[in-house]
Structure 1
Amino acid sequence: MAKSRLLSSTLVVSSMTMLSRILGLVRDVVLMGVFGAGGLMDAFLVAFKIPNFLRRLFAEGAFSQAFVPVLTEYKEQKTFNEIQLLISRVSGVLGVILLALTVAVLALAPFVIQLFAPGFVDDPAKFNTATELLYLTFPYLFFISMTAFFGSILQSYGRFAPPAFAPVLLNISMIVGAWLIAPMLDKSIMALGHAVAVAGVLQLIIQLPDLYRKKLLVAPSIDFKHEGVRRILTLMLPAIFGVSVTQINLLLNTIFASKMANGSVSWLYSAERLSELPLGLIGVAIGTVILPSLSASRAKADMIEFGKTLDWAMRLIVLIGLPASVAMFVLSDVLMNALFVRGEFSATDGDMASLALRCLSGGILGFMLIKVFAPAFFAGQDTKTPVKIGIVSVFANMLFSVVFIGIFYLAKLPLHGGLALATTGASFVNAGLLYYFLQKRDIWHFGKHWYKMGMQFVIATLAMTVSLYAVLPYYPQDGSAWAKLAVLIAICVLGAVVYGVVLLASGFRPRQLRHG
């Protein structure tokens, strides 16, 4: 990908992602307002988290990280007919694996719920509801994984908008389900299961026109012996663990939370959704855009261009990730109060969710760094290193969970906060080890220009923090929902303006964000 297109492609993905995240936020506000943070919502979140977790592994995670470098290499070195053959064979193999997995999980649905939420066993109503919902939500895995497969192809050919827009359809479908369909059903929460199933089909369909125009929509064919398929599977199997460590850690939190106070799953979910807002807007967008570019640089053995692309991505990550982490911590109470406390989601629920957000906020930068560092290994078709680091990170998360839950228990604090803090600690273990091996192997390291630039980011973030604390007393705790939202937006805009002004005053210039 040409240098001039990296930033524009990032802006395309970020804008589509912003639309999706805004609608996602509206969706979560609607869901919590309609269903609250009790047993029904906990049951749905677990039933939806299972296919969503596997989606991150098969789709956005391991599969795309293994498939894109191989497809990029085919584009550089093979004929168009060979590219079509690769796509045909990969779609056939991926499809049959997904179908087999879907059938197996649906056949064992009660056991799967018991595995992912063992705490639900003591509440038959919640357990049975989660099982019924899993029957509706799990087929979503097949459709969304195939959507991600087609999206990876389009991204490799410079078409980022359709894949980035697809999640918007999920948010719209769930909002319609909660508002319009739920009141019509005896068991209202089942409307969300139907909404997820419909969204999976719609997200797949919108990818097809672009693929057809590029003559890349070819009939699937199952061939496990195809050279490209074997390489992708070889890269994918270990990458399943390596690239999805964050999701594994969050899933462990769900398992622990299912045994905690009623509503713990929902409180953690609300916090995760807000913490993922900057991650999705910048971290995922940049990680998506740079992978084809990094893969092309490795295929050409152009390590200078490879390093420039990584350095450019890091500048954007730190520019956004550092202030976002701090702002989420400072504004956690206000964010939950303004966005979620309404309807069935009580003020107490808001307090519990804001505690989780404070504990997760520090990890936003860590999560973003993983999104940049991991593709640097996958672009070179190295999946072993991230896997080893992933194993360490998962064990670190389990250790942190035990330690922090114990500390929170002794301090008489809600235990779900310890789980969130453990996830934050594990994210920095993961990101730190990835960077250690990047610089040890002389792939990339922070250059001298980062000393000054890093200090500029820190100074601007400190100024933003002071300004946020200064205006927080003006937030109307008992005002109308619209007044609260208006003040929240004003506070966020003020913090962003202070950050930008101080950053410019410190000598930072927009041209420093140019590639190279």
Structure 2
Amino acid sequence: MSAHGRKIARNAGVVAGATLVSRVLGFVRDLIVAFALGAGLLADAFFVAFRIPNLLRRLFGEGSLTMAFIPVYARVREEQGEEAAQAMARSAMIWLAVILTGITLLAELAAGPLTMAIAPGFTRNPEQFAVTVDLVRICFPYVIFICSVALCMGMLNAQGHFLAPALAPSVLNVALIGAALTGYWAGWNVAYAMAFGVLVGGVFQFALQLPFLRRTGFSWRGAWSWSDPGVRRMGLLMLPTVFGAAVYQLNILLGTLLASYLPVGSVSYLYYADRLVQFPLGVFGIAVSTAALPSLSALAAKRDMDGFGGALRSAMGLTLFIALPAAAGLLALAVPLISLLFERGAFSAQAVIATAQALAAYSVGLPFIALARPLVAGFYALEDTRTPVRIAVACLVVNIGLGAWLMTFWAHVGLAVAVSASSLANFALLFWKLRARLGHSPLELGGVARSLALSCLIGAGAWFSASWSGWWLALIPVWVIVYFAGAVLLRMTEARMLLDMVRSRIARKKGRA
């Protein structure tokens, strides 16, 4: 594996670790919010109010803003130097602050119509509608801070720092946990306490980035311009990414719409299955693409296409090395896993089977969803944000059309199969387009074959153990060891690289001691 590949793997490990902490804290947050806020009028009002800035974060923040910023920032640094890159970053932040402040002021004035557009049913209950409008006004300024965090994330990632941006979601979770418990124990209105917790969390998320930015030598004081060409280029690149994020949200919305025509419980089966698939994707899939984008952008800015291809192959190989066994494990252990996590109270044995069927169908597509992420990062690094969006639109049509047809035969499982099929189509089209552009394959077929063989081996073992009461759970670490040991014996690059990373960390800790 190249030096760039090792760098991507090291940074992906940092992002994955921080994301895992965030996911665990998110689970704790959900438990505490359920305890302190419950599931009544105030809970519904808070979740709707928080959904509005959260939607804008997904459309304009982390994905779109960061992915459009990093390639331009890397090119300016390469061609014009550090001072010009810092001036471009300051200019982008000024524009961002002005635009978001204007949007926030409009939202504060139009909080009533905005709430009516998002939750029209709340108008039937004047008290609930009024509370939601209040909470929208409290929560909405969060957009300013989280989008600013996204810009800081781009700057830090481009400088090779990944920890602080990756820890930002954990800061929000801690703020919400603290707000919920404080409101509950103090006898305050918990929904209002949590709304202020969102705002406080946003402030601390942004504040966390500042000392790390200073360590890189960046200062908010200095030259900037309303007409910075880098900011204009970033804005042009960002438009397709925002549209792509909107397509993703539309995919979720239309999938839920189709599921609403199926028997009661279908939406829930798909929701719980998707939550489990999103865990390895969120921890590992996003981590690799996040770590890959700065390296790919820097290589593209230098016109080093050989290095670019090598770094992309490393990112793809590492993604597949993790995604294939994760998919095999979820597929083999779908029933006992769903039963362990959810089979209690109103969640019946029949619901376990139905959810496990959806999980199995989703799991088949997990490697393709994961592999698409570094491919998209490759396009963004080349400052081509339109091709991934066009492909996403085509795959949206495939997903909805195939889902509408398959649900007539397989109900909710048909919708999950359609998601996996459209994910395969998305990966295949991205792969084909980027291969044509690079002139060679961004995926090493030998590594694919070895990862697939080992994943089938541990998947078969896990499936065989699924009926062994609690033993299936105890054996999961065994399957992980078997997979990794097999990869080492087969001299897979990813296994050797991960082993070297562990050894170097142990050596550094011993050195400090």
1:287 aligns with 2:289: yes
Alignment partners' CA distance in 2, 1:401 and 1:458: 27
The Cα shift of 1:325 comes to 2.0
Task: Select the residue among 451, 460, 463 that pairs with 1:469.
Answer: 463
Alignment partners' CA distance in 2, 1:31 and 1:401: 34
**Alignment: residue pair count:** 497
Amino acid at match of 1:319: F
Residues 39-88 of structure 1 show CA distances to partners (whole Å, capped at 9, x for unaligned) of: 87676555444433332332221211111011111211223332222111
1:237 aligns with 2:239: yes
Aligned to 1:496: 480
Alignment partners' CA distance in 1, 2:355 and 2:296: 38
Is this contact kept in 2: 1:322–1:365, CA < 8 A?
yes
Question: TM-score, normalising length from structure 1?
Answer: 0.82
The Cα shift of 1:298 comes to 1.2
Task: Select the residue among 67, 74, 77 that pairs with 2:76.
Answer: 74
Aligned to 2:436: 440
Amino acid at match of 1:280: G
Amino acid at match of 1:429: A
Aligned to 1:212: 214
Calculate the aligned-residue CA RMSD, in Å.
3.8
Residues 189-216 of structure 1 show CA distances to partners (whole Å, capped at 9, x for unaligned) of: 5554443333222111100112233342
Alignment partners' CA distance in 2, 1:12 and 1:337: 32
Alignment partners' CA distance in 1, 2:334 and 2:194: 27
Is this contact kept in 1: 2:36–2:184, CA < 8 A?
no
- Change in Cα spacing, 1:503 to 1:128, as seen in structure 2 (3 Å) is farther
- Change in Cα spacing, 1:24 to 1:495, as seen in structure 2 (3 Å) is farther
Amino acid at match of 1:424: S
Alignment partners' CA distance in 2, 1:330 and 1:31: 33
The Cα shift of 1:349 comes to 7.2
Task: Select the residue among 354, 359, 362 that pairs with 1:360.
Answer: 362
Q: Unpaired segments of 5 or more residues in structure 1?
A: 477-486
Percent of pairs with identical residues: 34
Amino acid at match of 2:478: L
The Cα shift of 1:184 comes to 5.6
Is this contact kept in 2: 1:341–1:350, CA < 8 A?
yes
Moved more, 506-515 or 455-464: 506-515
Amino acid at match of 2:441: H
Amino acid at match of 1:217: S
Is this contact kept in 2: 1:249–1:423, CA < 8 A?
no
Residues 355-395 of structure 1 show CA distances to partners (whole Å, capped at 9, x for unaligned) of: 55444333322221221011111111112211211221232
Is this contact kept in 2: 1:463–1:502, CA < 8 A?
no
Task: Select the residue among 425, 431, 452 that pairs with 1:429.
Answer: 425
Alignment partners' CA distance in 1, 2:101 and 2:261: 32
Is this contact kept in 1: 2:255–2:400, CA < 8 A?
no
- Change in Cα spacing, 1:339 to 1:306, as seen in structure 2 (3 Å) is same
Aligned to 1:309: 311
Is this contact kept in 2: 1:36–1:344, CA < 8 A?
no
Residues 92-112 of structure 1 show CA distances to partners (whole Å, capped at 9, x for unaligned) of: 111222223334445445655
Moved more, 135-144 or 275-284: 135-144
Where 2:384 maps in the other structure, the secondary structure is: coil
Alignment partners' CA distance in 2, 1:332 and 1:124: 44
Equivalence map 1:123-162=2 (5 Å): 133-162=135-164
Moved more, 42-51 or 303-312: 42-51
Residues 332-353 of structure 1 show CA distances to partners (whole Å, capped at 9, x for unaligned) of: 3433443456689887876776
The Cα shift of 1:138 comes to 3.3
- Change in Cα spacing, 1:393 to 1:10, as seen in structure 2 (3 Å) is same
Is this contact kept in 2: 1:287–1:372, CA < 8 A?
yes
Equivalence map 1:57-68=2 (5 Å): 57-68=59-70
Alignment partners' CA distance in 1, 2:219 and 2:304: 31
Aligned to 1:102: 104
Task: Select the residue among 19, 22, 43 that pairs with 2:21.
Answer: 19
The Cα shift of 1:437 comes to 0.6
Where 1:473 maps in the other structure, the secondary structure is: coil
Alignment partners' CA distance in 1, 2:27 and 2:73: 34
Where 1:217 maps in the other structure, the secondary structure is: coil
- Change in Cα spacing, 1:124 to 1:360, as seen in structure 2 (3 Å) is farther
Where 1:433 maps in the other structure, the secondary structure is: helix
